[in-house]
Chain A
């Protein structure tokens, strides 16, 4: 099962919006509404930010939003803040290839 494709890095200034893409295939991202996104600060465990494509867990800022079009999912962060600087990973159910999940390679977000 191949990893999902994310850009290695994105950047933005405080207050701006950025979008991180996550491209899979018709066997994973394209077939299921089971994409999730995780934020990971250095030396910390990942934190769930978005699940089932666009749902936010309790306690996650509404500046974070998720969407999907075809085989590509996206995470948008609006009103960038310094504390948003972190690595972000997308994840999707992988279907019958493993009956598990597949992650993207991760995107380093730099807040300028």
Chain B
């Protein structure tokens, strides 16, 4: 059974930093592209970032570019999101999501077949 478990969400002040983690199990982690997607309270979904199966390619939404860094440790089956210079508008539930593409398909497939339950980040003074 595929499981994605996020952690690290807390209350942080504007300008602060935070690192989110996502522990993956139930599939060959290093075969797949992974994403972070967020959802502000009462709002819709917003794609944040993706990382290729080998970590060699990373992409970001304009709203977080230059402030957030996605990474992965395939030896630990873990995905990370380093969040710096946090703003109040970064307040959201952050989901880790598995792409159905990666090493075996050669390409990212840009859809999310499994999601975690999310970790809540609140940016407030």
Residues of A whose CB lies within 8 Å of any CB of B are: 1, 3, 34, 36, 38, 40, 45-48, 51-52, 57, 89, 91-93, 98-106
Residues of B whose CB lies within 8 Å of any CB of A are: 35, 44-47, 49-50, 59-62, 95, 100, 109-113, 115-118
Nearest-neighbor residue (CB-CB) of B110 within chain A:
A93
Q: How many CB-defined contacts (below 8 Å) exist between A and B?
A: 64
| Residue from the list B50, B100, B113, B115 in contact with A100, Cβ < 8 A | B50
Given contacts A45-B118, A98-B61, A98-B62, contact A52 B111 (CB under 8 A): yes
| Residue from the list A51, A103, A104, A106 in contact with B100, Cβ < 8 A | A51
**Would you give the shortest CB distance from A30 to chain B, in whole angstroms?**
15
Nearest-neighbor residue (CB-CB) of A32 within chain B:
B110
Most buried by A among B95, B112, B117, B118: B112
**Would you give the shortest CB distance from A46 to chain B, in whole angstroms?**
6
**Would you give the shortest CB distance from A29 to chain B, in whole angstroms?**
12
Most buried by B among A36, A40, A57, A101: A101
Given contacts A51-B100, A99-B59, contact A106 B44 (CB under 8 A): yes
Residues of A within 8 A of B100 (CB): 51
Q: Is the CB of A89 within 8 A of B45?
A: yes
Q: A52-B111, A92-B110, A100-B59 are in contact. List 8 more A-B contacts (CB 8 A).
A: A1-B62, A36-B111, A36-B112, A57-B113, A99-B59, A100-B49, A100-B60, A100-B61
Q: Is the CB of B60 within 8 A of A98?
A: yes
| Residue from the list A34, A52, A57, A103 in contact with B47, Cβ < 8 A | A103
Residues of B within 8 A of A38 (CB): 45, 112
A-B contact pairs, 19 of them (CB 8 A): A36-B111, A38-B45, A40-B45, A45-B95, A45-B117, A46-B45, A46-B95, A48-B112, A51-B100, A51-B109, A57-B113, A89-B45, A91-B45, A91-B47, A98-B60, A98-B61, A100-B59, A101-B35, A101-B47
